[in-house]
A and B are shown apart, each in its own frame.
Chain A
């Protein structure tokens, strides 16, 4: 198994509170991704990183921010959680470009409920 740890694995929070999800990898992979998975929508990219302090937006980035101060850690922050952000969040890592056939490895997911 790829060395990816997501924390917390489960969280219930109230609307309007900030939430930070952490992804930690031990593979020294360059690329890191945050996805959310919802019924009927599949996996949608929130943000990704292609190096320390190098990040960019995905297709559903509104309401989310990320930071990557070290190769091994990629943080996803919901500044003010809303009920529409209730979802399962997956962190993923890759050593190289996807188009080159590099494998993307996924973490086990973080279940977030906003009430």
Chain B
């Protein structure tokens, strides 16, 4: 059973389009992180959200943590080819220091 469900699994869009990636769970998370992974490399942290309802922006990326801390979303405005990669969400419950990762959303942005 996957603790964190990410959707969609794959996304292929044209440059300039907007998109949203979702990370959902039936569990409450004390914190949730989003990572981006490029081919041949390890995941790199984009953002950490810890407060229910929290919204964080990173240039054209907007991250939101659900009020109940069970879900999160990543919205990209005016996607660019450089946004291409695998987007992963990871969360931990309670006081755990062991994160669980979603299976990822593979994004391709065509020029």
List chain A positions with a Cβ less than 8 A from chain B.
31, 33, 35, 40-45, 48, 50, 58, 90, 92, 94, 96-109
Contacts and interface: CB of A to CB of B under 8 A. Distances in A.
B42 A108 contact: yes
A45 B98 contact: yes
A13 B99 CA distance: 30
B4 to A, nearest CB: 9
Chain B: number of interface residues, binned into ranges: 20 to 34
Contacts of B88: 42-43
A33 B43 CA distance: 13
15 contacts: A33-B98, A35-B101, A42-B102, A48-B98, A90-B42, A94-B97, A98-B96, A99-B92, A99-B97, A100-B31, A101-B48, A103-B33, A104-B90, A106-B42, A107-B42
B43 A99 contact: no
Interface string B80-93: 00000000101011
B50 interface: yes
Contacts of B50: 101
Given A41-B103, A97-B92, A97-B97, 6 more contacts: A33-B98, A40-B103, A42-B101, A98-B99, A104-B90, A106-B44
A99 B45 contact: no
> Which 6 residue pairs across A and B have the least CB separation, nearest first?
A106-B42, A42-B103, A97-B97, A99-B30, A43-B101, A98-B92
Interface in B53-111: 88, 90, 92-99, 101-104
For A44, A50, A101, the residue with the greatest tally of chain B CB atoms inside 10 Å of its CB is A101
